[in-house]
Structure 1
Amino acid sequence: MSAADKARAKAEQAIGRAKKKAGRATGDADKAGEGRLQEAKGNARQAKEKGKDVLKDE
């Protein structure tokens, strides 16, 4: 995984976690859901990049 892609995935995960926590703390279900979605996108991006690394190493 390139450093830029890894950083992008981690940033997306962190922003999603922050939104999710903020939404839960304020009782805003929409914000919490948005955070969960963004965190999942970061997780998916990270999994995609790891998969590309595995195929590249073979």
Structure 2
Amino acid sequence: MNEDQIKGKAKDIGGKVQQKVGEAVGSRQQQSEGLSNQAEGKVQEKKGDLKDIVKGNR
């Protein structure tokens, strides 16, 4: 795994936690921010995947 994949996965997981906390406390803003962080994390992970493909690591 490269740096983008690791950071992206961490952001995705953090976003999932944030979304669930938002659901638990009834905060739509927290839920929305969590979903946004998940999306950003997934994009960053895919960027890392592409870097691996270009470098021939996959």
Q: Which consecutive segments of 4 or more residues in structure 1 shift more than 2 A?
A: 4-7
Q: Number of residue pairs matched?
A: 57
1:7 CA displacement: 2.2
- Unaligned ranges ≥5, structure 1: none
Task: After TM superposition, give the deviation of residue 43 of structure 1 in Å.
Answer: 0.3
Structure 1 segment 1-40 matched on structure 2, within 5 A? 1-2=1-2, 4-40=3-39
Q: Is the 8 A contact 2:22 2:31 kept in 1?
A: yes
State percent identity of aligned pairs.
30
Q: In angstroms, what is the RMSD of aligned CA positions? A: 1.7
Structure 1 length as normaliser, TM-score? 0.84
Q: CA deviation at 1:6?
A: 2.6
CA distance in 1, matches of 2:10, 2:29: 20
Q: Deviations over 1:4-31 (max 9, x none)?
A: 3332112111110000001111110000
Superposition TM-score, scaled by structure 2 size: 0.84
